[in-house]
Chains A and B, each alone.
Chain A
């Protein structure tokens, strides 16, 4: 059992994972602001902030993928038979419940779609590192890339709204607090989680 667990606290998120979460949150909000505020009429020089923030998000997500594949328990985030069998009736779950796993999957698809298309779109602008080359794709090809980027970005509006709503709900505060300070109380752990499915002393 970890020292945190032994002391009446159960560690949920390590510092490095919390830093990743908040870097991603700030990046996504900055990307959304620089993408949508100009469309809504707020005129400012948004492009440079947007692509630089996009690169920060790309590095952060690459780090998260490597960490989750090789240093964490990936299956904590994969829907399993118990999630499905107890659909809607789970009172004590693993580290993440079915809704959280499906939400993570949806955000992963959207963010990877935004990053992949965004990296391709970098060929459309001059930066200190490269000159623009708009002939990589045909006009139709660029239209597909831009459409993917636009739809992923707009769908992230929905996902961010849902995420903030759940983070603010009083019955989810134990999760929200743990994303700030890294731990939850032993009572919160016992009330909400099944130790057989999430052994808090384990990594990930």
Chain B
């Protein structure tokens, strides 16, 4: 897995041309991870605002 996209210049050098779109899946998984972690936390430790009176 690479962080960047590359092209080869006229001089044969490897140039960065942008971020690697292979990373999309990891940003998606990061969002999913935060959501699941928060949902789990809220399930284990309910908010005092939502506690029964």
Contact = CB atoms under 8 A, between A and B. Distances in A.
A10 to B, nearest CB: 16
Interface in B3-36: 4-5, 9, 15-21, 23-24, 27-28, 30-32, 34-35
A16 to B, nearest CB: 29
Interface in A114-157: 139-140, 142-144, 146-147, 149-151, 154-155, 157
Given A154-B24, A158-B28, A147 B35 contact: no
A191 B47 CA distance: 12
A157 B30 CA distance: 9
B15 A143 contact: yes
B49 to A, nearest CB: 6
Interface residues of A, number: 26
A39 B24 CA distance: 10
Measured as residues with beta carbon below 8 angstroms from the partner, the interface class of chain B is 20 to 34
Contact of A146 (B9, B19, B47): B19
B17 A162 contact: no
A165 B20 CA distance: 26
Per DSSP, chain A at the interface is helix
A150 B18 contact: yes
Contacts of B48: 91
A162 B15 contact: no
A146 B38 CA distance: 33
Contacts of A162: 31, 34-35
A1 interface: no
A176 to B, nearest CB: 15
Given A140-B15, A154-B23, A165 B38 contact: yes
Contact of A171 (B5, B19, B49): B49
14 contacts: A91-B48, A139-B15, A139-B17, A143-B15, A143-B18, A147-B18, A150-B21, A151-B23, A154-B24, A159-B31, A161-B32, A161-B35, A162-B34, A171-B47
